[in-house]
Amino acid sequence: MSSKSISLKTYWLVWVALMFLLLLTWGMAELDLHAFNTVVALGIAFVKMLLVILFFMHVRYNSRITWIFASAGFVWLMIMINFTMTDYLTRGRVRPPNRIISYWQYGPPQTPPGGHPGDVNPTGIQNPADEKNATGK
């Protein structure tokens, strides 16, 4: 099977493009784009994937059957990602069995009003004015 030879200059240009995209990925990760961080990162990763497949794997200059098999591999990858995300997104919320030591849902313990962490108020009344109403005096 004969295929076109890729010049050394092309390899270096693709490598420079990949290094630029690597720095761009890092730069975009440092910016707070909220929900678009993932979209931008996946877009850059897609371009890097295309560069590697087309030039380093020599798919660009090969026969159409190579294109078909490379495309089939990509389609299979998308199917696997789709199954994984479907499973992940359709599960219910997972809570740890011990809520006392997990702060992920409620945050860290708060300091009681007018007290220090660890203070215990056995009556449960926070304000002395409320104590008068509770005892009726």
Query: Which ranges of the chain would DSSP assign to H, the alpha helix?
Result: 8-30, 36-51, 64-89, 128-135
Q: Is the Cβ–Cβ distance between 108 and 101 less than 8 Å? A: no
123 φ, ψ (degrees, to nearest 5):
-80, -20
Question: Taking the domains of the chain in order of start, what are their residue ranges?
Answer: 7-60, 62-91
Q: Is the Cβ–Cβ distance between 84 and 77 less than 8 Å? A: no
Q: Is the Cβ–Cβ distance between 10 and 55 less than 8 Å? A: yes
Please state, in angstroms and rounded to a whole number, the distance separating the CA atoms of residues 12 and 84: 36
pLDDT tens-place string over residues 32-89: 998 899 899 999 999 999 999 999 999 999 999 999 999 999 899 999 999 998 988 8
Please state, in angstroms and rounded to a whole number, the distance separating the CA atoms of residues 79 and 72: 10
Which band of pLDDT confidence, cut at 50, 70 and 90, is reported for residue 92? confident
Residue 3 has pLDDT above 90, yes or no: no
pTM, to two decimals: 0.58
